[in-house]
Amino acid sequence: MAKILLVNPNRYTQPPVPPIGLEYLAAAIVRAGHEYLLLDLTFSDNPQEALRGALEDYAPSIAGFTVRNIDSAIYHNNLFFLDGIAELVGVTSDAGVHSVVGGAGFSFA
């Protein structure tokens, strides 16, 4: 049985979006006989520390990240999200945990 950490790195809250793709994935993980922890970083004050804590406390075999959007798609004040997501993937790598990245934004890009 694998322990899988599912991470929602989305920090954009205009509007906040629940990580429904990870929730669907969680159902498949359970059906396959594995366990998961879903870490939603949307409202986290310190996402890197929250991730480090989850990696230490949960000790997953692998981490899965969803990339819903690569940017905010706002013409006059566009925010790019991939740099922050890459930093979080780096946190898992530093902890010796392999990462898998997917999601609508990842697939689109």
pTM of the model: 0.86
Mean pLDDT, range 61-85, rounded to an integer: 75
**What six digits make up the tokens of 49?**
């520390």
**DSSP category for residue 64:** E
Single-letter code of the amino acid located at 30: V
pLDDT bucket at 84, cuts 50 / 70 / 90: confident
Mean pLDDT, range 22-49, rounded to an integer: 97
pLDDT for the residue 98: 97
pLDDT bucket at 52, cuts 50 / 70 / 90: very high
The answer to whether residue 106 scores a pLDDT higher than 60 is yes
